[in-house]
Structure formats: structure tokens, C-alpha cells
Amino acid sequence: MGRVPRNSIKSLLLLIALTAFLSGCGVHHSRNDEHVNDTVQQETLAPQPFEDEFDLEDEFEDAASADIIDPLSGYNRVMTKVNDKVYFWLLKPTASGYRAVAPEGARLAVGRFFRNLLMPVRFTNNLLQLKPKQASIELARFVFNSTVGILGFFDPAAKHCNLQPYPEDFGQTLGYYGVGSGFHIVLPLLGPSNLRDTIGLVPDHFLKPTSYVEDSEVRLALRVYKQVNQTSLHIGKYESMKKDAVDLYPFLRDSYEQRRNKQIEE
């Protein structure tokens, strides 16, 4: 491993950084380009009203036909309930208390700091998914935000250059290369996941700088703090989402799988 010529790595990184900087604030405009191809297909646009509403139905699947493989449903239901309790009994009260004492500006800054730290995860997975443009935006964001943005507590890249992060993780990378989701697993504390995404947590773990903190207590404290801080910024969202659920477990499961499929498509 140590034999990899240093110079070539250096120059590669330099090249990427250079590209990112040269394209600078203009890069984000390319986001809209993706839509152009679709908009060009004007010929499909002859306004032909649908004969009846069920013509629209084709794109939806019947729940029965979309059999999700769910061998762990018994355990998953229990774990969903446990996580729900953890949220309402532990996480939410803690986060609410924290929210009452810490000003929002500080909590937002902490959130940005942790997000900046996770750049290696996004950067690497963008590269693995052959998305060099997004990877270079991630790199540019990191360099810019870690310096001008003072260790990532601020996000001048998004604010002044509209360079938005491109969240990608290893589960998505696996999906990108055609790995199916496997069965659904509700992870303790972490919530809905599936076999593919759970496996994906391992490489991502090694890409997180926080995983290299030596003292395990500090590592745990960091994780808890990050979660409490994050929750304090989103109190009410889970509650609101829950209102749409007839039965919580299948609702969360289907929403998770739908969202992941969409993320992988992008």
C-alpha cells in the first residue's frame, strides 16, 4: 500500500481541487442541466386528457405485488417500538432541554461542524459512484468551509457560492452497482435500514474522522452529542410524519425503502 507513488496522488488531488476552484461558484448551475434533456422532449406534450383517473395508476404499485422480503418483521416491529420509545422518553426530552439552553445559532453551527467532518464519506462515495463533479464540489466545500468557514462551523460554500453537499453513502454506492436492498432491518437506535445499507455502514465507519478518536468514552460522547444536537434542530418532524401512519412499522419501512431507491437512482 505504501508503494503508491506519492506524487501522483498529490497531483491528482491538486487537479481535483483546481478543477473545483476554477469552476468555482459556477458549478452549481450544472445541477439544472440534468433537467434540460427532459424538457427538450417537447413532442410528448400534446395535451391529451386522461380517460379516467385510473390511467394515472400505472406508476403506483399494489402493495400486494410489491412483496417486500421481510423475514425479520417480528423483530423489526419490536425494535421500531423500542426506537420510538427511546425517541419520546430519552432523546426528545434531552434534545428539548438542550434546545432551551443552547441558542439556535450555536446548534446550527455545531450541526454544520459535524456535517463538514463527514465529508470523506460523501467524497469517497461520490468518487466510487463515478460522480467526479459532485466529488470535487464536496472537496471544494471542505477546503472552503474548513478554512474560511472556521473548521466547518460555518458554510460559506453554500451561502455564497450555492455549493450544496451531495450526500452519498456506501449503501447507495452498493445500490449504484446493482446490489439489491436485501431484507429490511430496524437497527437499534439508528432506525430503519436493510441488509445492503447495514453492510454499507462498515466502510462508512472507517471514513468518519470521529471513528478515529482513541478514547472510546469520548467517541461515544461525541456521537451522543451529535445526535442530541441534530434532534434539537428537528423536533416535531418525526411526530408529524408519524401522523400519516396507520401502522407505524410498515409505514416507516416502506417510506425508508422508497426513499433509498430514489436516492440511489439520482
Partner 1 sequence: MRYLLSILLCLLLSAVPSLAEGPAEARELVETRIDAVMLLLQDESLDKAERDVQIIALVAPIFDYPTMAKLSLGKKHWPQLNPGEKASFSDLFIDRLQQSFLEKLDIYTDEKVLYGEPLIKGKKVHVPTTLVSKDSRIEMLYKMYRAAEGWKVYDVEISGVSVIQTYRSQFDGVLSNGSIDDLLEKLKTDGAFTITEPDEAGS
User: Of the ranges 3-11, 37-45, 142-150, 219-227, which one interacts with partner 1 (CB under 8 A)?
Assistant: 37-45
| Alpha carbon distances (Å) from 2 to 5, 6, 117, 128 | 8, 9, 25, 21
Footprint (CB under 8 A) of partner 1, residues 55-114: 56-57, 60-64, 66, 84, 88, 104, 108, 111-112
Looking only at residues 13 through 32 of this chain, which bind partner 1 when binding is defined by CB under 8 A?
A: 32
150 Rama sector, left if φ>0, alpha if ψ -120 to 50, beta otherwise = left
CB of residue 84 to partner 1, shortest distance in Å: 7
Q: Does 160 bind partner 1 (CB under 8 A)?
A: no
Residue 13 or 266 with smaller CB distance to partner 1: 266
The DSSP code sequence of 146-213 is: HHTTTTTTS-HHHHHH--------HHHHHHHTT----SEEEETTTEEEEHHHHHHHHHHHHH-GGGG-
Stretch that binds partner 1, among 10-18, 52-60, 139-147, 191-199 (CB under 8 A): 52-60
| Least distance from partner 1 to the Cβ atom of residue 192, Å | 12
Q: What are phi and psi of 26, to 5 degrees?
A: -80, -15
Smaller CB separation from partner 1, 19 or 94: 94
